[in-house]
Amino acid sequence: MLFVADRLSPSTGGAAVPFDESNNRRTVYGYISRTTLDSMLSLFDFPNPNNTSEQRSITLGPMQRLYFMNNGFVASQAAAFADRLTKAASDDGERIRQAYSVAFSRPPTTEEIQMGKDFLRGSGNSWREYAQVLLTSAEFVSVP
């Protein structure tokens, strides 16, 4: 999400940092407490750091969906993604193409371009809302 929003820090190494709204580093640099697991991590089935685990369980539940729809961090990244798209092109169709290229690494279908234009027209041309829709889509949040 940070990469898509063009907010991911390229720095490597250094001390672990807490998972909060100001963290813009890769997850590998996040601080994991063995006594108090971060609530966001537990929401996404982060394994118990005190145990070894050969495989991570894969779940997708309603609480995860609600997190993406209502979380301030996600909304902030959606706004940054929308700004990135607005700067990248002036035409809605081209912005939608750019959004799919960055978020999904593929071009949108003709139907997806039309649905994007319809959404933007219906939402008062809200690129922030459209960006959040893309960031909360199953295609974006699920790694096959």
**Residue listed under structure tokens 């991911």:** 8
Percent of the chain topping pLDDT 70 = 91
Give the tens place of pLDDT for each residue, 17-47: 887 778 888 878 888 877 777 777 776 667 7
Please, are residues 37 and 54 in contact by the beta-carbon 8 Å criterion?
Answer: no
| Predicted pLDDT at 80 | 96
* DSSP character string of 80-120: HHHHHHHHH-SSHHHHHHHHHHHHHSSPPPHHHHHHHHHHH
Percent of the chain topping pLDDT 90 = 42
Which one, of 49, 97, 94, 40, lies nearest residue 68 by Cα? 40
* Helix, coil or strand: residue 30: strand
